[in-house]
Structure 1
Amino acid sequence: MAGVLLAPPAALARELADTIYSGGPILTMNDATPSAEAVAVRDGKVLAVGTAAEVESHRGPETKTFDLAGRTMLPGFFDAHGHMLMGGLQALSANLLSPPDGEVTDIASLTESLRGWAASNADAVAQANLVIGFGYDPAQLVEERHPTREDLDTVSADVPVFVVHQSGHMGAANSKALEAAGITSDSEDPAGGKILRGADGQPTGVLEENAFYAALSKLIQPLGAEGFETFARAGAELWARYGYTTAEEGRSVPATADVLRKVADEGGFKIDVLTYPDVLVDRDYIAAHVSREYQNRFRVAGAKLTIDGSPQGFTALRDRPYYDPVGDYPPGYKGYAAATMEQTVAVIDWAFANGIQINTHANAEGASDMLIASIDAATKKYGPADRRAVLIHGQFLREDQVDSYKRLNVFMSLFPMHTFYWGDWHREHTVGPELVDDISPTGWLVKRGMRFSTHHDAPVAFPDSMRVLDATVTRRSRSGDIVGPAQRVDVMTALKAMTIWPAYQHFEETTKGSIEPGKLADFVVLSADPTAIDPETLDTIDVLATIKEGEVVFEAR
C-alpha cells in the first residue's frame, strides 16, 4: 500500500500498450519528430512515439512486441486518387499490360493473352458471357494502334470480347460486344465521347470516353451486385498489398457506391475506403450521403467531375494542338471536353454553395482553364472557405495555371508516375520535346511552398506505391531518360505526398498521415529505408506488411 502511495503520478496514469513496434527505422512524417526508435499502440491508436526507453515505459505484462528486424516503418499510404472498384475488375481480368507489369507487346500477344485467360476462366466467361482484358496501351504496342473488332473477333466470334485501355478512358470491342452494347453504323456519338469508324462508316470497335463508359456498363451489368462486390473486396486486398491503409474509388455512381457500402456493412473491408460519386449523374445522392465520418470503414467523401480524358490517348483537352498524335486526327486537333463549360460552372457553383468537396479530373491545359474560371467565379460569389477543392491529374499545365490554383486554394493531386509509363510517348507525340519536362510539375509546386499529393490512378497501372515514389523522385522513363530534372523532388517530400498531405487533401490529417500520439495506428513496413538508399533503387523496395489500426491486414510471405 505504501508503495502505491509513494508512486509518482505519472506512473499511476501510465497507459499500457497493446503492442510496441521497434527494431528498425521509423519515419513519422511529423516535422516536429521526424524519426523515432519505437511506437506504442493501444486500442488501434498511437499511444506514444519516441526513444526505445520512453516507449518501453508503456510496456505491461500483456504487451506484444512487433520486431521490425531492421525493416522500416512509415505511416500507411493514403490513396490520393485511384479507382479501387475498377482495380478489383483489373485483378480479375486478363492482364494486357506491357512490361514491366505484363507481357503484351503487340496485337498478337494481346489476343493470345485473352485466349489464354478465357481458357483458364471458362466458367466465369460462360457465366458473364464476356471475355474482358485490362491495360493494353498502343504506345507500347509494336503496331502503335488500338486493337480493332476484327482483331478481337479472332479471340471469339460468339462471345463478347472487350478490352480496356490502360488509361481507363477508352477501349475496344469485338463484333459481339458492339452488338451487346447496341452500337451500329447508325449510332451517334454521345456527348463527351466518340465511336471511332473506318472509311466504310462502320465502327472499328474503338470507343472513347462516354461512349466507352456506356458500353462497359452494359457489358458488365449481367455480373450483378455479387460480381461488383467481388471486385470491391479484390480491390481493397490489392491496395493493402501495396501498403495503402486508405483506398479511394475516385469515380462512382449511386449503384456502385451502394455496393461499396454493402460490402463495408458486411465487414468486407480491412482498410478504409472512400468514394466520390459522379456529380453529373446524381447530385441528390451525393448531398444525402456525403460525410466526413467512416461507417464500417466506408464513406462518401464528396463529388467527382470529369472535364476531359486521357493525354496519352489524345482525348485530354489542350490549349494548343497535340504535337504529333498517332491516329486519324484533323489538323490542329486539341482533344475535346467530356463536360461543357456550362456544366462545369454549374457543378462548381453547386459544390461551393452546399459545402461539398469537389474533385475534378482535368488533365490538360484547356480543361484547367475551364476549372480555374469556374472556381474563380464560385469563390468570388461565396467567399473564401476551407473547401479543399481538388485538381486531379494536371499533367499538362502552364505555370500561370499553377499560380491560379495556389491563389484559389485548390489542392493539386498530380500524376508523376506518367513520367515512367508515358514520358517517352509524351515527348514524341503529345506535348513534344519542348514541353515534356513539365508534365506533372511537382517542382513548380515545391518552389511555391504548396502541399500536394501524388497518385497511381489504378487500374491505369497497379497501385504500386514504390513505383509512385520512384517516379516522383527520379522521373526516369521506360527508356531511362529523366523527364524534367527540375521537377524532381527529394524522397521525404515525395513520402509526404503519399501520407500526410493526401490525408490533409481528404480532411483526415488529424487522424491519419503521420505517426503521432492520438492518431490511428495505420502503418506500412518496407524492406528498406527510402531515405537511406540510392534513389535510383527506390522501385526495388518491397512492401512487407500493412497494418490498419494495429492489426496486420497484409504480410508478405
Structure 2
Amino acid sequence: MTMTTCRSLILGSSLLAASIASAQEIADTVYLGGPILTINDEQPTAEAVAVQDGRIIAVGSLDQIRLHQSAATRVFDLHGRAMLPGFVDSHGHVVMGGLQALSANLLAPPDGEVTDIASLQDSLRTWMEENEAAVKKIKLIIGFGYDNAQLAELSHPTRQDLDAVSTEYPIMIVHQSGHLGVANSKALELAGIDASTDNPPGGVIQRGSDGNPNGVLEEYAFFTALMPMLSGLGPEGMQIFAKAGAEMWARFGYTTAQDGRSSGGVVEALKAVDQAGDLPIDVIAYPDVLESKDYLEAHVSRAYTGHVRTGGCKLTIDGSPQGFTALRDRPYYDPVGDYPENYAGYAAVTMKQVQDSVNWCYQHKMQIITHANGEGASDMLISALKAAQKQYGDPGNRPVLIHGQFLREDQVDSYQELGVFMSLFPMHTFYWGDWHREHTVGPANAENISPTGWVRARGMMFGSHHDAPVAFPDSMRILDATVTRRTRSGDILGPTQRVDVMTALKAMTIWPAWQQFEEETKGSIETGKIADFVILSRDPTSVDPETLDQLRVMATIKDDKVIYQASESDQASSLPRPPLIADQAHAHHLLDAWYEGLNN
C-alpha cells in the first residue's frame, strides 16, 4: 500500500467519523472513566453515558458514546469511581430534616456523641454556647435525636434533667423516632401542661409517681406541645428548614426527596425555595390527609412545578416501635418503662378515621402512603384498603405501606393481593435491632422485622428508606443494613431476610421511582431519562458487603449539574459520612436566618 493510499484511507475514515457525529445528537456532557451501574436489567453496565439538555441521550461503549462528542462536549472523568442513578427517597421528611441539621445533635454514636443523660446535657450546653446570640434572641432550645434505647440509663431524660441545663429558656428535645420528646418545666408551662391536663386523643403525657408530668410526651401530646413553639417560624423559617434539608439529602446522593407528612404551608415553602433557586433536588410532598384535604384536592399532580410536586395523601395510624407507641397485635416482649400488663401500644387515630381517609383518597384517585409500624396498625390498614377497593375498585393509585416494622407473613400476602407497595425500614436493624430483640418483640420475632426476604420471595418490589430525620438520610447506611442486617452489637438480625447488593440498590433507585410514578424518567441510567447521578468512591457490587457502610458519596448530579461534591479533605477522610451542612459558617448563617424568622 502506498503512502498516498494510506493518507486517503485515513482522510476518508476521518470524514466518515465526522459525518456520523454530525448526524448524531451532540452531548453537553459525557461521563466515563469508571464503572457505571445502570440499574437496567437489559443493560446492567456501561462504559460511558452521553447527556444533552439534562437528559440521557446514549448509554453504551466508549466507541458508541464518542460519536456524540464534539469539541464543546464536557468530559466528566470518574477517575475509577462508580456512577449510579441518583437515589430516590422512598420515605423521609426533608423539611424536618432541616430542623435536624440546625438543632443540637443528640444522636448516639456513630452519628453523634450522646451515650448517657450527662453527655446529652453537655451536648445541649455546647450548642447553646455556640449559638448564644440566637438563643438569647428567640429564647428557645431545640435538640434532636436522643434515643433512650442507647442511653446508659435505658430511660428517657426527664424535665428535671433538662431543667439542669436551663430553667430560663424552654427546652424541647425530640426523640430519634420523631414520635415523642421531652420538655423542661418552662416548655411544659408554655404548653399549658400540668397535673390536671388530660391525655389528648392519640397521645400520652407521662407522669411521675406524684402525678405531675415528668416531661416525656408521646405522639399527639408531643406534637401539640412542639408545634406552638415552632408556630412563629413562619414561611421564611420553613424555607430555611427546606433549604437545609434538601442540601443534606443531596450530600448523601439523593436527587429526589420526599416530604412524607407535609402540609400546604410546607409545600408552598418548598416552592418558594425552588423559585429562589435554592432547592437543588426534586421533592415530592404528601400532606396529611386528616388536615389538608382542601390543599390536596387543588394540588395533587404527577407534574412538577419546578422541583416540587404534591404526590398524594399521608396517613399515620400508629407510632414508634422502639418507643413502644406502635400498635401491636400482641403484648410487647419486655418494654422498658411504666407500662400496664399486656401493653401492646395504641393507635394514634380511630378505625373510622382510617377508613374515611382511605376511602377519600380512593374516591379522589389519589395515592395514599400510610405509616403503620405494628401488626395491629397493619390489620387496620388492610381492612380499610379491602373495603375501599371493594367500593371504588382499583384506581391505579399504587397505595404504599410505610415502615411495616412488625408484620405477620399473612399480612405480607394481603398487601401483595391488594397491590400495596411496601416501603420498608431495614436500617432499623442497625439502629434498634438489639433493642427489638431484647425488648420490643423478643429474639424470635426480631428476626423478621422489616421482612425484605418475605417480600422478595413473593416477587414483590420494595423501597428501602431512612425516614430522616429519624436517622440521617445516609444512603450507604441503608445499603449496608439492607444487605447485611448487622446490628450495633455486630449480630446479624434475620439472615433469611437479607438481600443481595443489586436488589438493595434497586430498592433505592428504580423501585421507589416506580412507587412514586416516576419509573419512566428516574431510577435507572437509560436513554431518555433525566440525568440524575450519584458518584460513589467504589463500585458497591465489587466490595466486601461488610464494608458497604464505608463507601462515600463523592458527588451528586441533578439534571446534569453537580449539586454536591466532596471537598478534598472529605475525599481523604476515612469517615464514611459527609458533614450535614456544607461548612460551619453556612450552618450559622442558616441558624441566624431561622431564628430571625422566629423572632419576626
The TM-score normalised by the length of structure 1 is 0.98
Task: Determine if the alignment matches structure 1 residue 251 to structure 2 residue 261.
Answer: yes
Q: Distance in 1 between matches of 2:219 and 2:529?
A: 40
Given candidates 113, 117, 137, the residue that maps to 2:147 is 137
Q: Distance in 1 between matches of 2:150 and 2:376?
A: 26
The 5 A counterparts of 1:505-544 are: 505-544=515-554
8 A Cα contact 1:128 1:220, kept in partner: no
8 A Cα contact 1:79 1:246, kept in partner: yes
Q: Distance in 2 between matches of 1:97 and 1:15?
A: 50
8 A Cα contact 2:20 2:67, kept in partner: no
Partner of 1:307: 317
Partner of 1:296: 306
Q: Distance in 2 between matches of 1:61 and 1:424?
A: 57
Partner of 1:15: 25
Task: Determine if the alignment matches structure 1 residue 556 to structure 2 residue 566.
Answer: yes
Task: Determine if the alignment matches structure 1 residue 469 to structure 2 residue 479.
Answer: yes
The 5 A counterparts of 1:61-76 are: 61-76=71-86
Partner of 1:153: 163
Measured against aligned partners, the alpha-carbon deviations of 1:213-238 in whole angstroms (never above 9, x if no partner) come to 11111112223322221111000000
Partner of 1:405: 415
Kindly state the Cα deviation for residue 179 of structure 1 after the two structures are TM-superposed. Answer: 1.2
The TM-score normalised by the length of structure 2 is 0.91
Structure 2: stretches of 5+ with no match in the other structure: 1-11, 568-600
Q: Distance in 2 between matches of 1:122 and 1:483?
A: 43
Work out the number of aligned pairs and report it: 556
Q: What amino acid is the match of 2:517? A: F
Given candidates 547, 555, 558, the residue that maps to 1:545 is 555
- 1:187–1:254: structure 2 CA closer, same or farther, 3 Å change rule? farther
Kindly state the Cα deviation for residue 7 of structure 1 after the two structures are TM-superposed. Answer: 9.2
Given candidates 32, 37, 45, the residue that maps to 1:35 is 45
Q: Distance in 1 between matches of 2:218 and 2:166?
A: 22
Q: Distance in 1 between matches of 2:372 and 2:387?
A: 17
Given candidates 80, 92, 97, the residue that maps to 1:87 is 97
Q: Distance in 2 between matches of 1:204 and 1:528?
A: 49
Partner of 1:418: 428
Q: Distance in 2 between matches of 1:8 and 1:543?
A: 37
3-state DSSP class of the match of 1:435? helix
Given candidates 78, 86, 99, the residue that maps to 2:88 is 78
Q: Distance in 2 between matches of 1:234 and 1:427?
A: 35
Q: Distance in 2 between matches of 1:155 and 1:11?
A: 68
Task: Determine if the alignment matches structure 1 residue 325 to structure 2 residue 343.
Answer: no
Partner of 2:295: 285
Identical pairs, percent? 65
8 A Cα contact 1:134 1:165, kept in partner: yes
Q: Distance in 2 between matches of 1:181 and 1:25?
A: 55
Measured against aligned partners, the alpha-carbon deviations of 1:18-66 in whole angstroms (never above 9, x if no partner) come to 0100000000000100000000000001010000110111001100100
Q: Distance in 2 between matches of 1:196 and 1:4?
A: 79
Kindly state the Cα deviation for residue 197 of structure 1 after the two structures are TM-superposed. Answer: 1.1
Q: Distance in 2 between matches of 1:119 and 1:8?
A: 65
Q: Distance in 1 between matches of 2:191 and 2:230?
A: 10
Given candidates 356, 367, 376, the residue that maps to 1:346 is 356
8 A Cα contact 2:21 2:68, kept in partner: no
Kindly state the Cα deviation for residue 260 of structure 1 after the two structures are TM-superposed. Answer: 1.5
Measured against aligned partners, the alpha-carbon deviations of 1:340-387 in whole angstroms (never above 9, x if no partner) come to 100000111111110110000000100000000000111111112321
- What is the CA RMSD across the aligned residues, in angstroms? 1.5
Q: Distance in 2 between matches of 1:431 and 1:27?
A: 38
8 A Cα contact 1:441 1:487, kept in partner: yes
Given candidates 488, 492, 514, the residue that maps to 1:482 is 492
Kindly state the Cα deviation for residue 10 of structure 1 after the two structures are TM-superposed. Answer: 5.8
3-state DSSP class of the match of 1:185? coil
Q: Distance in 1 between matches of 2:389 and 2:60?
A: 43
The 5 A counterparts of 1:344-493 are: 344-493=354-503
The 5 A counterparts of 1:215-234 are: 215-234=225-244
Measured against aligned partners, the alpha-carbon deviations of 1:116-175 in whole angstroms (never above 9, x if no partner) come to 101110122123311110000000001111111100001111100110000000000001
Structure 1: stretches of 5+ with no match in the other structure: none
Q: Distance in 2 between matches of 1:81 and 1:128?
A: 32
Kindly state the Cα deviation for residue 96 of structure 1 after the two structures are TM-superposed. Answer: 0.3
Runs of 4+ in 1 over 4 A off after TM superposition: 2-12
Q: Distance in 1 between matches of 2:493 and 2:206?
A: 32
Q: What amino acid is the match of 1:350? A: W
3-state DSSP class of the match of 2:323? coil
- 1:20–1:144: structure 2 CA closer, same or farther, 3 Å change rule? same
8 A Cα contact 1:267 1:296, kept in partner: no
Partner of 2:65: 55
Kindly state the Cα deviation for residue 11 of structure 1 after the two structures are TM-superposed. Answer: 4.9
Q: What amino acid is the match of 1:129? A: K
Q: Distance in 1 between matches of 2:134 and 2:326?
A: 35
8 A Cα contact 2:21 2:69, kept in partner: no
